[in-house]
Chains A and B, each alone.
Chain A
Amino acid sequence: MSLAVRVIPCLDVDGGRVVKGVNFQGLRDAGDPVELAKRYDAEGADELTFLDISASHEGRATTMEIVSATAEQVFIPLTVGGGVGSVEDVDRLLRAGADKVAVNTAAIARPDLVAEIADRFGSQVLVLSVDARRAGPGTATDSGFEVTTHGGRTSAGLDAIAWAKQAADLGAGEILLNAMDADGTREGFDVDLIRLVRAEVSIPVIASGGAGAAEHFPPAVEAGADAVLAASVFHFGTVAIAEVKDALRGAGHAVR
């Protein structure tokens, strides 16, 4: 008897539509987040994450509607991130039907935001999303990993491991660890990064970035991840959620 490793598909949503092509057979509308959420639920996803990449106010308002529609039809936990900058933003998302909210750039700019959200709603709603990459010349950090913003293009001037630890101390309930070097390579998770964060924090760690095949997932768990998140490999049908669970089970990890 033990806690199951969570397998989490992530959907990028812009103005209420799923972007990054989704290649499922038999969906009436592959751009409809609600329909995709139901599909992933039926396939055994343990949670869902929506990343709102809308640039406009209208786009974000539409995302709220999508969150509500999803929460009314899908009975697994839903995390929503993207542009969350205040306690009020978190309140709106929770009221709309999100169970957890992911915070990224705004917390880098003002770390107290983490404590404010945790104090108001509890640590369990707060996922700190960290976009980490190996630090290059001129941006060296103690751990060798640094925090980035703007999709991995800009250095935030912070040590990624120290930042994860600081956020956990401030009250974050979970770390969503995005390996920007591995992201999109489909060559596997960055196990060095996962191991370093795992050693420093005692809150759950979700590994993200680099998944390209079912056999990539067990090493992330062995490095210390409590959950694994992926986007395109699921959307394109390269790997099914059931195949990831089979691989994890085969490696001796508990799955649902």
Chain B
Amino acid sequence: MTAPPVVVLDYGSGNLRSAVRALERAGADVTLTADRAAAQEAAGLVVPGVGAFRSCVEGIRSVRGHEVIGRRLAGGRPVLGICVGMQVLFEHGVEHGEDTAGLDEWPGVVERLQAPVVPHMGWNTVEAPEGSLLFDGIEDERFYFVHSYGVRDWTLRTHGRTRPPLVTWSEHGGDRFVAAVENGPLCATQFHPEKSGDAGARLLANWVGSLKAA
């Protein structure tokens, strides 16, 4: 089987080397680029992100990544957001009292975690729902998180014909937040699968395995 082509969107966000290598290890043919045609055509698009919500949104918009994401989703083409790359998919984010519009693929707000020790940093367990593709075989594993903000209330309700999104939760210091979302072609994780050892490798392999090879 040919390795499915995957583009990691390069908009100047921190350490991307690990994401590229981890996806290669998961069986993808990876290109790190901001080229819109390549990002549009790939079997899968990964949107990484570290640092501030606002600077990630600005970075993605500066390479017109939001348009690529929108067009891919309209055509049912898979997109995977990681960490702040997940957060920016929501309607808006509030950091240091500053409210920034996100890419608005999902309703909801990214806000500061309410826990005694923040950032939430380290290996935590998750509660994955029945039927999760991403967590298949790794439901009981720990994943590496590092974030101070999160989505503490999932508000998207679907009715009738559409399959409801699968939402995976985690908890830190009494606060619950979204750890991952699987919503048709749009998937995302708050944790870093590329830093989560063998469990993260399996999650990425689960995602890459769902992509159609070119």
Closest to B195 in A: A77
Question: Which of B73-81, B97-105, B140-148, B180-188 forms part of the interface with chain A?
Answer: B140-148
> Is the CB–CB distance between B50 and A75 below 8 Å?
no
- Within B58-89, the residues touching A (CB, 8 Å) are none
A4 on the B face (CB < 8 A): yes
> Is the CB–CB distance between A125 and B123 below 8 Å?
no
> Is the CB–CB distance between B172 and A3 below 8 Å?
yes
> Is the CB–CB distance between A75 and B196 below 8 Å?
yes
Closest to A98 in B: B15
Most buried by B among A121, A122, A227: A122
CA distance A77 to B116 in the complex (A): 23
> Is the CB–CB distance between A121 and B122 below 8 Å?
no
Contacts of B121 in A (CB 8 A): 124, 173-174, 204, 226
A76 on the B face (CB < 8 A): yes
- Within B94-126, the residues touching A (CB, 8 Å) are 116-125
CA distance A99 to B116 in the complex (A): 23
Count how many chain A residues have C-beta atoms less than 8 Å from C-beta atoms of the other chain: 35
Contacts of B21 in A (CB 8 A): 71-73, 75
Mark each residue of chain B from 120 to 159: 1 if its CB lies under 8 Å from any CB of chain A, else 0: 1111110100000000000000101011100000000000
> Is the CB–CB distance between A204 and B117 below 8 Å?
yes
B208 on the A face (CB < 8 A): no
> Is the CB–CB distance between A3 and B50 below 8 Å?
no
| Known A-B contacts A46-B122, A99-B18, A125-B14; A75 and B194 likewise in contact (beta carbons under 8 Å) | yes
> Is the CB–CB distance between A203 and B122 below 8 Å?
no
> Is the CB–CB distance between B15 and A71 below 8 Å?
yes
Mark each residue of chain A from 46 to 57: 1 if its CB lies under 8 Å from any CB of chain B, else 0: 100000000000
> Is the CB–CB distance between A77 and B144 below 8 Å?
yes
Closest to B95 in A: A122
CA distance A77 to B143 in the complex (A): 11
B164 on the A face (CB < 8 A): no
CA distance A124 to B121 in the complex (A): 8
Range of interface residues on B (Cβ < 8 Å): 35 or more
> Is the CB–CB distance between A173 and B15 below 8 Å?
no
Cβ of B91 to closest chain A Cβ, rounded Å = 21
> Is the CB–CB distance between B119 and A204 below 8 Å?
yes
Q: Which of the residues A75, A124, A202, A256 comes within 8 Å of B116, measured between beta carbons?
A: A202
> Is the CB–CB distance between B117 and A6 below 8 Å?
no
CA distance A256 to B142 in the complex (A): 7
Contacts of A71 in B (CB 8 A): 15, 17-18, 21
> Is the CB–CB distance between B123 and A124 below 8 Å?
no
Residue pairs across A and B with CB atoms within 8 Å: the count is 105
Q: Which of the residues B22, B127, B147 comes within 8 Å of A75, measured between beta carbons?
A: B22
Contacts of A193 in B (CB 8 A): none
B42 on the A face (CB < 8 A): no
Q: Which of the residues A96, A120, A203 comes within 8 Å of B119, measured between beta carbons?
A: A203
Contacts of B18 in A (CB 8 A): 71-72, 75, 97, 99
> Is the CB–CB distance between B15 and A99 below 8 Å?
yes
A95 on the B face (CB < 8 A): yes
B200 on the A face (CB < 8 A): yes
Mark each residue of chain A from 92 to 131: 1 if its CB lies under 8 Å from any CB of chain B, else 0: 0011111100000000000000000000111111000000
Cβ of B89 to closest chain A Cβ, rounded Å = 18
CA distance A72 to B22 in the complex (A): 8
Report 24 cross-chain contacts, Cβ distance below 8 Å, ordered by A residue.
A1-B171, A2-B124, A2-B171, A3-B124, A4-B123, A46-B122, A71-B17, A71-B21, A73-B21, A75-B21, A75-B22, A77-B195, A94-B14, A94-B15, A98-B15, A125-B51, A173-B119, A173-B146, A174-B121, A203-B119, A204-B119, A226-B117, A226-B122, A256-B123
Which of A's residues lie within 8 Å of B, judged by CB? 1-6, 41, 46, 68, 71-73, 75-77, 94-99, 120-125, 173-174, 202-204, 226-227, 256
Which of B's residues lie within 8 Å of A, judged by CB? 14-15, 17-18, 21-22, 25, 50-52, 116-125, 127, 142, 144, 146-148, 170-172, 192, 194-197, 200-201
Seed contacts A99-B18, A99-B195; 12 additional CB < 8 Å A-B pairs: A1-B127, A5-B122, A75-B18, A75-B22, A75-B200, A125-B51, A173-B119, A174-B121, A204-B119, A204-B121, A226-B121, A256-B142
